[in-house]
A and B are shown apart, each in its own frame.
Chain A
Amino acid sequence: MSTETLTDAPGSNAELRAYLHGLPGVDQVGAEERAARLATRSIKTTAKAAAIDLAISMVDLTTLEGADTPGKVRALCAKAMRPDPEDPSVPKVAAVCVYSDLVDVAVRALDGSGIAVASVATAFPAGRAPLEAKLADTRAAVAAGAAEIDMVIDRGAFLSGDYLKVYEEIAAVKQACGDAHLKVILETGELVTYDNVRRASWLAMRAGADFIKTSTGKVSPAATLPVTLVMLEAVRDFRAATGRRVGVKPAGGIRTAKDAIRYLVLVKETAGDDWLTPRRFRIGASSLLNDLLMQRRKLATGVYSGPDYFTLD
């Protein structure tokens, strides 16, 4: 496939379908085996300390609950800027991720900190709304100051083979984003197969995604290592084909520092060093940050820490 084809809009659903189904299939056993093998790698002492700091700097600190309040968002922003109030050497997180109506609260709280505000949009998490509503949601979030938009794809359209609809929706949201970065949530837990994950990844990248993200966090299974492996292979191959680097964001279900380090190993071994930066790799999480801080303090003080010493949210 030539570079032009990958950057041009597809002419028809049939053409897009032929292209996506022409992608090589994913070896399921091989992908799971490779992810499991890489997960056994032992990261200790100074490498572990560096990995923990890198992971903290890649966290998209997230609160996406119906019960979110402005106060909770402000508390989360304070934590994003100084994850461990006792230790100024802890890096700040990459972004704070909230619902679109709370973007202005987060923007004000994070003013001047260099931390981006990400907003979910397009009728998150189901994505079941008319296109106009999704675009309005996106524009409102961007107008309120969101620097990153996390959109969900229409899984119904994707699974029924209406790839062009998914493509056009992503392209339209991308346009509505303006300068804001667009992260496209594939919701891999609903895509069923790795082949579908690969197709959805290429579809999203072709439609202009700056990041591809595994899950909303509302569907189980959320992010898994093999799914992330397939997506990392996709961004690697997309770069080889077009030269454009697309980021990856696993989200949901990553709760321990050990898990986070496994993802970093996967990034390093699949996409390479170019992706080991918050600009290309993010981890969507809420409880993960506390475990990273606890591990960090264990390394610093030599004794095990406890959840009592860190904020709950």
Chain B
Amino acid sequence: MSEPTRLAVRKTYKLFIGGAFPRSESGRSYVVHDAKGAFWANASQASRKDARDAVSAARKAFGGWSGRTPYNRGQILYRIAEMLEGRRGQFIEELRTAGAGKAAATAEVDAAIDRWVWYAGWADKLGAVVGSANPVAGPFFNFSTPEPTGVVAVIAPDSPLLGLVSVIAPVIVTGNTCVVVASEPAPLTAITLAEVLATSDLPGGVVNILTGRRAELAPWLAAHMDVNAVDLTGAPADLVPSLEEAAAGNLKRVLRPEGEDWTADPGLGRMTAFVETKTVWHPVGV
């Protein structure tokens, strides 16, 4: 008697909005191929209304997330790194399906986890490095501290895991919340990352991940009046000028790096790009 064949349990890749995994409001999806050009999976194709819902979710989560102590945010980010480590094999498998060799895939996943841990450590240290106690001509203690900018729209680069974590971690570690448009050709790893985020104490809405057409979603996010900053790292070059113009509508902060090398030392630039400096004058002796 032959072994009964198991029914294939295929994964449905959906969006990640407000801590839940909804399908696109539009009902659309698009086919993602593996390295050999064969069918891999269907990814949700988000619409502008999904982007709008994601911004609402991010705005709702902002107060709570930015109000946590940096130490607590660091702990939660470290918890995410633990979960990433637990799914190491799955990420390596996904990168290999996407075309990376075994050694390269392993190296990228390890680098991504290390990158996440590196940013997690910055949570309660950035304030000491970029903040300051200022000498002033008067009886005041005068402090400058970095404060999160708000809701950040992130157009993620095509590097499926290392690039993705390198743009998300620095945004949320300082207390921002974000709406991420995942890589158009490689969206599936982003949704697997969302599964990690959903199971690691990160409050719903702090990270929202959309998959779909960048050219369709990016302009709505860049023009959205309730978004405070945009990271154009993965935006198509021909779209960048119009996105910057749209972002000027409510004076969003815009990060527009070129030729990022994800394996290099990231520096503080991506964290300081999305913080505001708040200066407090506190009377001496009170």
> Which residues of A are at the interface with B, using a C-beta cutoff of 8 A?
302-309
Contacts and interface: CB of A to CB of B under 8 A. Distances in A.
Main DSSP-derived SS at the A contact region:
loop
Interface stretch (B160-168, B169-177, B222-230): B222-230
Contacts of B226: 304-308
Contacts of A306: 59, 224-226
A260 B246 CA distance: 30
B52 interface: yes
Nearest to A305: B225
Contacts of B246: 303
Contacts of A307: 59, 226
Contacts of B249: 303
A130 to B, nearest CB: 45
A38 B246 CA distance: 37
B232 interface: no
A87 to B, nearest CB: 14
B55 interface: yes
Contacts of A308: 225-226
Contacts of A303: 220, 223-225, 246, 249
13 contacts: A303-B223, A303-B224, A303-B225, A303-B246, A304-B52, A304-B220, A304-B225, A304-B226, A305-B226, A306-B225, A308-B225, A308-B226, A309-B225
B59 A304 contact: no
- Scoring A303, A305, A307, A309 by chain B CB atoms within 10 A of each residue's CB, the highest score goes to A303
Given A303-B220, A306-B225, A307-B226, 8 more contacts: A302-B223, A303-B223, A303-B246, A304-B55, A304-B226, A305-B226, A307-B59, A309-B225
A304 B223 CA distance: 7
Interface string B45-58: 00000001001000
- Scoring B220, B223, B226, B246 by chain A CB atoms within 10 A of each residue's CB, the highest score goes to B226
Nearest to A304: B224
A310 to B, nearest CB: 11
Contacts of A302: 223
Contacts of A305: 225-226
B66 to A, nearest CB: 15
Contacts of B59: 306-307
A301 to B, nearest CB: 9
Interface string B229-258: 000000000000000001001000000000
A304 B54 CA distance: 12
Interface in B185-228: 220, 223-226
A105 to B, nearest CB: 32
Nearest to B52: A304
Nearest to B222: A303
The 7 closest A-B pairs by CB, nearest first: A306-B226, A303-B223, A304-B224, A306-B225, A305-B225, A304-B52, A303-B225
Nearest to A307: B226
Contacts of A304: 52, 55, 220, 223-226
Contacts of A309: 225
- Scoring A306, A307, A308 by chain B CB atoms within 10 A of each residue's CB, the highest score goes to A306
A307 B58 CA distance: 13
Contacts of B220: 303-304
B168 to A, nearest CB: 22
A305 B224 CA distance: 6
A147 to B, nearest CB: 37
Contacts of B224: 303-304, 306
Nearest to B49: A304
A302 B249 CA distance: 12
B252 to A, nearest CB: 12
A129 B227 CA distance: 50
- Scoring A302, A303, A304 by chain B CB atoms within 10 A of each residue's CB, the highest score goes to A304
Interface in B51-78: 52, 55, 59
A89 B223 CA distance: 23
Contacts of B55: 304
A296 to B, nearest CB: 13
Contacts of B223: 302-304
